Amino acid sequence: MKEQIISDKKIARTAGTLYLLLAITAPYGLIYVPSQIFVKGDAAATAENVLSNEFLFRTGVASHMVSQVLFILVVLLLYKLLKQVNKHWARVMVALVAISLPLALLSDILNISGLMVLKGGLLNLFEPGQVNEIAGIFFKTGSNIIQVTQLDWGLWLFPFGMLVYKSRFIPRIFGILLTLNGIGYVLLSFTFVLFPESESLVYRIAMPLLFVGEFPTILWLLIKGVNPPQGGT
């Protein structure tokens, strides 16, 4: 039993470390870099920013790619830790993350393709204004994919939260907070699809939910690991 506790703590802390790296790399690629590059409704300004800040743009894509690798590693470690609670729901948790991976990487492919369009690597027969518009379509489509992928980023937190709640070796409150976190992502994704005119309002409402579950859980896994297991269901 003591060896199992030590092993679980090691898995939990490794997961917490990688989860923290994920929490750094993902926002850099998804929030910071786009905020410095993309100008809403202005393809010409966006194109100019991309070309004049090409390395920054590429670091954003690379950071997002790294975050997806980390995401897979994190959920596999969490599966190893939580399958003792309920193997079925642990598998569902992994499956939901796995589904999101190709979609997220497709957005990176579209961003790089947009850059290639602007640099003349794909289209040579169009006027500069047309090239900017075409590249803008690539960038916008990549962004739309991320908006839809938020559904999976929310859904995987439901089985994760349930497993944490039932685990008894991670505080139950984190399971509840992770579920609320998941609701925030799902709300944003469906708002984008159904009520795009209300996106800004819903974003302000949902934003606090995006921080209530994952960040406290990351810190707990990283610092505490797990409490001695008391059984599961």
For range 9-26, the mean pLDDT? 95
The answer to whether residue 29 sits within a structural domain is yes
Q: Which residue, among 221, 231, 69, 228, has the nearest Cα to 160 in the 3D structure?
A: 221
Per-residue confidence (pLDDT) for residue 230, from 0 to 100: 52
CB of 90 closer than 8 Å to CB of 82: yes
Cβ atoms of 32 and 6 within 8 Å: the answer is no
Could you tell me what percent of the chain has a pLDDT over 90?
Answer: 80
Render pLDDT for 60-90 as a digit per residue (tens, 0 to 9): 999 999 999 999 999 999 999 999 999 999 9
In a domain, 38, yes or no: yes
The answer to the question of residue 12 being in a domain is: yes
pLDDT at 156 over 90: yes
pLDDT for residue 41: 87
Would you say residue 167 lies in a domain? Answer: no
Does residue 180 fall inside a structural domain? no
Say what the pLDDT of residue 123 is: 62
d(CA 102, CA 96): 12
Average pLDDT of the chain is 92
Domain count, the chain: 1
Phi and psi, residue 195, nearest 5° = -135, 65
Whether 169 is covered by a domain: the verdict is no
What pLDDT score was predicted for residue 185? 96
Which pLDDT does position 229 carry in this prediction?
A: 52
69 CB contacts (<8 Å, ≥6 apart)? none
Greater pLDDT, 172 or 6: 172
pLDDT class of 232 with cuts at 50, 70, 90: very low
Q: Which residue has the higher pLDDT, 92 or 41?
A: 92
Q: Is residue 204 part of a domain?
A: no
pLDDT at 1: 59
Whether the per-residue pLDDT at 151 is higher than 80: the answer is yes
Q: What's the whole-model pTM score? A: 0.89
Residue 206 pLDDT > 50, yes or no?
yes
Which domain range does residue 13 map to?
Answer: 2-147+215-223
The answer to whether residue 30 is domain-embedded is yes
Instruction: Kindly tell me if the per-residue pLDDT of 49 is higher than 90.
Output: yes
Q: What is the pLDDT of residue 7?
A: 84
